[in-house]
Amino acid sequence: MEIEELSRTAVSRDTGRSSVSGPLLLVLALLSAVAPFATDMYLPAFPQMTEELSASATAVQLTLTAFLIGVTIGQLVFGPISDRLGRFRPLVFGAALCVVASAVAVFAPSIAVLVIARFLQGLGGAAGMVIGRAIISDLAKGKAAARAFSLMMIVGGVAPVIAPLFGGFLVGPIGWRGILGVVLALAVLMLVSILAVVRETLPVERRAELAHRHADDESPLAALRSRPFVGYSLTFAFAFAVMMAYISASPFLYQDMIGLGTVGYGLAFGANALALTAVSGLAARLTVTYSVRGVVAVGIGFVAASTVVFGLLVIADVPAGWLAVPIFVAVGSLGLVFGNATALALQSVPKAAGSASAVLGALQFGLAAAVSPLVSIRGEDTAGPLAVVMLAAAAIAVVAFVLAGRGSRSGVPTA
């Protein structure tokens, strides 16, 4: 109901064009959720996979690495292709590839086959992520786009949390192949939903118009070097790096330092995810009244302030339980940033939404991969490395946001 309501609100109150229906928004949210489920849900089954496939822990870990590499490359491939061939055909091809690769993964006879299947699964699944963002950019402008992206983040924020929880419950009854079977079912649902709901949003006429603009000042790809796009993309990516730093270090922080058990850790992790989800929904409503850039400014300000407080608490060596408070505020505040920063970035390059979405996604996953080892603080008695990484990422996000605003005042609207 909320998605339908806000979709209608976007059409009636936004001066920009918007035709992102409730069903379409639900399908696009599903496209963004398949990758987190495929990434996280089978993690609890790693020990079982090591035994049944007679593989080393490193080889099993490689199935995750291969998937993430596939997602990164897939976004860089499908984004530009969708600018040239339209959104629908590459999206269907990617979803079909994901279904086939998911089926191979379920019945993989060896770790080598599973690694290849996971790479292709990520490659195909990336199409939904990157083209889904481009479709919203095609259909919605300004505040309407920001609301749509924020609503998508509700699913994006919940999926990484509930996926490993589901995996933990399912690994005993159905095993790792059963879990990958659930991922296969999600991939099939994704393909069926695309065929039933999604229509072409970049018609031939529009593609031809863009293809004939050869002058450098009108080049779609030249816009990807513009200060607003680079600035807002870095704002989004480094804000996401703040969250990935927290996620990577969360078992150490909550279990080893604060002393929570497995259930307590799950509850704390879930509370932060609930905050992110709730604030993402709030962000969709705030942009009805306030500017998109203004909402991002508030969000990124809270994130930066929270990381500063976290660092000060670490330096002061306060009881570890207090560290959970600024983490909760920082993660929740990201709900004001993710969807709106995405909208501002893609809005600044309307002639190359697919390519822009690809760059945005590659930055997101690239930084996520880089941040994880930097906060490997297990076995230490301090959360110092986590504080440094979060503070550095938040500071870069703030600087990028300020610089993007200067570029926007030079002629790019800020919604």
Domain check: are 141 and 92 in the same one?
yes
Domain check: are 50 and 116 in the same one?
yes
How many residues in the chain? 415
Domain check: are 206 and 240 in the same one?
no
Decide if 258 is inside a domain: yes
Domain check: are 269 and 364 in the same one?
yes
Domain check: are 302 and 202 in the same one?
no
Residue 193 has pLDDT above 90, yes or no: yes
| pLDDT value at residue 415 | 56
Domain check: are 326 and 191 in the same one?
no
Decide if 1 is inside a domain: no
Q: What's the angle, vertex CA 150, arms to CA 144 and CA 154, rounded to 5?
A: 145
State which of 88-102, 210-224, 231-245, 340-354 shows the largest mean pLDDT: 88-102
- Average pLDDT of the residues in 97-109: 95
Domain check: are 152 and 281 in the same one?
no
Domain check: are 387 and 345 in the same one?
yes
What is the spatial distance between Cα 297 and Cα 360, in angstroms, rounded to a whole number?
A: 19
Domain check: are 246 and 387 in the same one?
yes
What is the spatial distance between Cα 408 and Cα 296, in angstroms, rounded to a whole number?
A: 14
- How far is the CA of 373 from the CAs of 45, 58, 367, 369, in angstroms? 22, 15, 11, 8
Tens-digit pLDDT profile for residues 268-315: 877 888 888 889 888 888 888 889 899 999 999 999 999 999 999 999
- Average pLDDT of the residues in 309-327: 93
Domain check: are 268 and 367 in the same one?
yes
As given in the structure block, the two tokens for residue 196 are 């039933």
Decide if 286 is inside a domain: yes
Tens-digit pLDDT profile for residues 120-148: 999 999 999 889 888 888 887 777 777 77
Decide if 2 is inside a domain: no
What pTM did the predictor assign?
A: 0.76
| Average pLDDT, rounded, for the chain | 82
Q: Which helix (H) or strand (E) holds 305?
A: helix 292-316
Confidence of residue 16 (pLDDT cuts 50, 70, 90): very low
3-class SS string, the chain: CHHHHHHHHHHHHCCCCCCCCHHHHHHHHHHHHHHHHHHHCCHHHHHHHHHHCCCCHHHHHHHHHHHHHHHHHHHHHHHHHHHHHCCHHHHHHHHHHHHHHHHHHHCCCCHHHHHHHHHHHHHHHHHHHHHHHHHHHHHCCHHHHHHHHHHHHHHHHHHHHHHHHHHHHHHHHHHHHHHHHHHHHHHHHHHHHHHHHCCCCCCHHHHHHHHCCCCHHHCCHHHHHCHHHHHHHHHHHHHHHHHHHHHHHHHHHHHHHCCCCHHHHHHHHHHHHHHHHHHHHHHHHHHHHCCHHHHHHHHHHHHHHHHHHHHHHHHHCCCHHHHHHHHHHHHHHHHHCHHHHHHHHHHCCHHHHHHHHHHHHHHHHHHHHHHHHHCCCCCCCCCHHHHHHHHHHHHHHHHHHHHHHHHHCCCCCCC
Residue 233 has pLDDT above 80, yes or no: yes
- Average pLDDT of the residues in 221-232: 80
Tens-digit pLDDT profile for residues 350-366: 777 778 888 888 888 77
| pLDDT value at residue 17 | 47
| pLDDT value at residue 304 | 96
- Find, among 94, 110, 111, 36, the residue nearest to 68 by Cα: 36
Decide if 125 is inside a domain: yes
- Average pLDDT of the residues in 112-122: 94
Decide if 415 is inside a domain: no
Residue with tokens 């018609």: 203
| pLDDT value at residue 161 | 64
Confidence of residue 398 (pLDDT cuts 50, 70, 90): very high
Helix axes 262-289, 2-13, angle to 10 degrees: 20
Which of 165, 188, 211 terminates a domain? The answer is 211
Terminal Cα-to-Cα distance of the chain (whole angstroms): 25
More confident residue, 213 or 158: 158
Confidence of residue 187 (pLDDT cuts 50, 70, 90): very high
What is the spatial distance between Cα 184 and Cα 106, in angstroms, rounded to a whole number?
A: 8
Which of 159, 181, 211 terminates a domain? The answer is 211
User: What percentage of the chain carries pLDDT values higher than 70?
Assistant: 86
Residue 244 has pLDDT above 70, yes or no: yes
As given in the structure block, the two tokens for residue 290 are 């306030």
Decide if 413 is inside a domain: no
Residue 21 has pLDDT above 80, yes or no: no
Q: What's the angle, vertex CA 65, arms to CA 108 and CA 131, rounded to 5?
A: 90
Confidence of residue 379 (pLDDT cuts 50, 70, 90): very low
Domain check: are 131 and 265 in the same one?
no
Domain check: are 28 and 163 in the same one?
yes
What's the total number of domains in the chain?
2
User: What percentage of the chain carries pLDDT values higher than 90?
Assistant: 31
Q: Across the chain, how many H-helices and E-strands are there?
A: 15, 0
Decide if 179 is inside a domain: yes
Residue 216 has pLDDT above 50, yes or no: no
Which of 192, 211, 230 terminates a domain? The answer is 211
- Find, among 345, 123, 384, 152, the residue nearest to 237 by Cα: 345
Q: Are 242 and 364 in contact (CB under 8 A)?
A: no
State which of 76-85, 132-141, 177-186 shows the largest mean pLDDT: 177-186
**Phi and psi based region of residue 380 (left: phi greater than 0; alpha: psi -120 to 50; beta: remaining):** beta
CA 226 to chain centroid, in Å, comes to 23
From 22-31, 204-213, 255-264, the region with the lowest mean pLDDT: 204-213
What is the spatial distance between Cα 271 and Cα 266, in angstroms, rounded to a whole number?
A: 8
- Average pLDDT of the residues in 374-390: 75
Structural domain harbouring 71: 14-211
The CATH number that applies at residue 381 is 1.20.1250.20
